[in-house]
Structure 1
Amino acid sequence: MNQQDAVLDVQGLNVDIDTPRGVLHAVRNVSFQVRRGETLCLVGESGCGKSMTSLSLMGLLPRQARRSSRKLSFMGEDLSTAKKGRINALRGDKMAMIFQEPMTALNPAYTIGEQLTEHYIHHRRASAAQARARAIELLDKVGIASAGQRLGQYPHQLSGGLRQRVMIAMALMCGPELLIADEPSTALDVTIQAQILRLLADLQQELGIAMVLITHDLGVVARIADRVAIMYAGEIMEEGPVEHIFARPRHPYTQGLLSCIPVPGHTPHGGKLGTIPGVVPSLIGDLQGCAFRERCAYAEPSCARTVPIHGTAEGQSWRCIRNGAEVTA
């Protein structure tokens, strides 16, 4: 990818958190890019660093966390050196985020209308009437009927699916260039989840937004992603176009994740799904070599040392001592 085409360019991102037991390396040397109109899915088990990565991009890390990077560029602007005031100006305007649980992200003491219009008035210096018209327009766009009446309601008066649609509308109020969605459908039932994902895909295509979607669901990835980055223990183990990752996963961890998913027409009825033995290693203290080596069937002594990164002409890359051709699913 041409770096000049990237809306978001992240190189060597690290997030360290001080704990009573030592420094926890939540995100380790993470690099990726996202272009306009492209969806990148960050995938991995709970605790792998997906949400910490997204929060670091938005400047919303907890106080005890420290962010560092070789490069953190948004629309050509260096976020790593930007002042707090500049980050506040970008956040909610050109960079927006949809949080995982709308009932905790929305303020129960304010109406939907007050929460939708507040940052639009702030960022666009708009009047209350202009902000209200924009809010109604966006609620209509995300499929909420009687939008004008909804503005006077409180979050607890809406269903989970409607609250999530409100969160999407709120994120789109100022017309962002980058949208980060942190597991936006996890708390919803399957039917509503499908509707929300379809809505996000349609809105992104219509508006040309660059989107980073955080999820642990590979089924979601298959439906919505252009590119996918597989995270494990704070690192990206494999990254590339979604069709290549699913057709020929190169890293043993990616293969293990895909083997856990039933495939219609291939997985026998009542047959056993794949599993990944062992547990995720502690991320506290000094970390060397491949973090997956204790759970990997291909592990060798050299895995405890620096692990090379391989790549293909199609843009697929993976972090492993094996070049991928030797690894079979």
Structure 2
Amino acid sequence: MALLEVQNLVIDIPTDAGVLHAVSGISFSLERGETLAIVGESGSGKSLTSLALMDLLPRRAQRKADRIAFDGTDLQSISASGMRKLRGNRMAMIFQEPMTSLNPSYTIGNQLMEALTCHRRVPAKEARDRAIHLLEKVGITAADKRMGQYPHQLSGGLRQRVMIAMALMCGPDLIIADEPTTALDVTIQAQILHLIADLQKEFGMAVILITHDLGVVARVADKVGVMYAGRLVETGSARDVFKDPRHPYTRGLLECIPVPGRTQPGMPLGAIRGQVPNLIGKLEGCAFRNRCDFAAGECAGTIPLAAPTPAHDVRCVRLPALEATA
């Protein structure tokens, strides 16, 4: 049995202009110890998907699905108190911007210890020892001293490491990392990603990595889901998606990345023309067709999910034309 199963997840948000279809029927699963990377442009629905799994959506957002199950537990029928017992305990999240996720009024130590004392009812000394141990584990020196500091006294990289330590406090089965390196410089980004990968191997956790950086995905993911305008347009193993991308959007994203040894200095990178469509109102056909060089009349109709190879799914009706240019 998969650790996490999501079938036909839909997220709608009522607005004054109409209903915003933020996520439109996505499905995926995740095994223990696996890393699933969900990639796509800003506004594609990646972060809302992660918030839906944690039941942290904005109040007006409406979540529906055929099934959302965590280790056999139906997350749609579970009570609010039952969800609180899972959230932060067996399911944890590393948020995008640690400065707004950490409480500026409490010390790092208080915030780390709170998760363990709430979920496990352990003595304060045991919680403190666990917090110091994890701060050291994520590469923070003088951890005992850091426990008494406030978030504003730490750099962005240190705050992100604190968020990772906080997510690990209860030894969760699943960690959702929502663009955990967005606010960091390149060298710190690499350190954080290696850290998450090393901790995953050590603790045997499953990881969902939300990102727009395909370079990140290539290094750490087992499976990849490419998301566009609220839909997963291509899913498969990282090897399949990078070696043989089938959807024109996936190809466009990969062409935007410079390749060492192949991309010469001054050589123009690829670009995807146009803009992401408005997701308010009824959406028909392929949402990418107005930006796609392979679009045809059939792209305005129903777009079934095709499987060109086992465990590699693509939502595109123009696969024959794309294969001819592979």
Which interval holds the TM-score relative to the shorter structure?
over 0.9
Give the number of equivalent residue pairs. Answer: 325
Whether 1:229 aligns to 2:225 is: yes
Match of 1:321 in 2: 317
Match of 2:152 in 1: 156
Per-residue CA distance 1:71-108 (angstroms, 9 max, x = gap):
10100111011111111110000000000110000000
Residue 327 of structure 1: how far off its partner (Å):
5.2
Take 2:264 and 2:208, find their aligned partners in 1: how far apart are those partners?
34
Residue 313 of structure 1: how far off its partner (Å):
4.0
Distance change in 2, residues 1:152/1:327 (3 Å): farther
Residue 32 of structure 1: how far off its partner (Å):
0.7
Match of 1:111 in 2: 107
Equivalent residues in 2 for 1:38-49, closer than 5 Å: 38-49=34-45
Take 2:325 and 2:113, find their aligned partners in 1: how far apart are those partners?
53
Take 2:296 and 2:163, find their aligned partners in 1: how far apart are those partners?
47
Q: Which amino acid aligns with 2:220?
A: I
* Equivalent of 2:171 in 169, 175, 191: 175
Per-residue CA distance 1:163-213 (angstroms, 9 max, x = gap):
100000000000000100000011011111110000000000111101000
Whether 1:140 aligns to 2:136 is: yes
Contact kept, 8 Å, 1:227 with 1:240, in 2: the verdict is yes
TM-score, with length taken from structure 1: 0.97
Whether 1:256 aligns to 2:252 is: yes
* Equivalent of 2:302 in 292, 301, 306: 306
Whether 1:53 aligns to 2:49 is: yes
Contact kept, 8 Å, 1:251 with 1:327, in 2: the verdict is no
Contact kept, 8 Å, 2:105 with 2:150, in 1: the verdict is yes
Match of 2:58 in 1: 62
Whether 1:213 aligns to 2:181 is: no
Per-residue CA distance 1:29-55 (angstroms, 9 max, x = gap):
011111111100000000000000000
Q: Which amino acid aligns with 2:263?
A: T
Residue 314 of structure 1: how far off its partner (Å):
3.9
Contact kept, 8 Å, 1:250 with 1:327, in 2: the verdict is no
Whether 1:14 aligns to 2:18 is: no
Q: Which amino acid aligns with 1:295?
A: R
Q: Which amino acid aligns with 1:187?
A: A
Match of 2:117 in 1: 121
Take 2:103 and 2:294, find their aligned partners in 1: how far apart are those partners?
49
- For residue 216 of structure 2, give the secondary structure of its aligned residue in structure 1: helix
Per-residue CA distance 1:232-276 (angstroms, 9 max, x = gap):
000000010011111110001001111111111212321111111
Whether 1:90 aligns to 2:90 is: no
Residue 326 of structure 1: how far off its partner (Å):
2.8
Equivalent residues in 2 for 1:17-36, closer than 5 Å: 17-36=13-32
- For residue 116 of structure 1, give the secondary structure of its aligned residue in structure 2: helix
* Equivalent of 2:67 in 60, 64, 71: 71
Contact kept, 8 Å, 2:36 with 2:225, in 1: the verdict is yes
Take 1:40 and 1:79, find their aligned partners in 2: how far apart are those partners?
19
Identity over aligned pairs, percent: 62
Match of 2:200 in 1: 204
Structure 1 vs Structure 2 CA RMSD: 1.0
TM-score, with length taken from structure 2: 0.98
Residue 111 of structure 1: how far off its partner (Å):
0.2
- For residue 240 of structure 1, give the secondary structure of its aligned residue in structure 2: strand
Contact kept, 8 Å, 1:177 with 1:210, in 2: the verdict is yes
Contact kept, 8 Å, 1:39 with 1:226, in 2: the verdict is yes
Contact kept, 8 Å, 2:304 with 2:315, in 1: the verdict is yes
- For residue 319 of structure 2, give the secondary structure of its aligned residue in structure 1: coil
* Equivalent of 1:281 in 277, 282, 286: 277
Q: Which amino acid aligns with 1:60?
A: L
Take 1:167 and 1:129, find their aligned partners in 2: how far apart are those partners?
20
- For residue 323 of structure 2, give the secondary structure of its aligned residue in structure 1: coil
Q: Which amino acid aligns with 1:106?
A: L
Structure 2, unmatched stretches of 5+, are none
Structure 1, unmatched stretches of 5+, are none
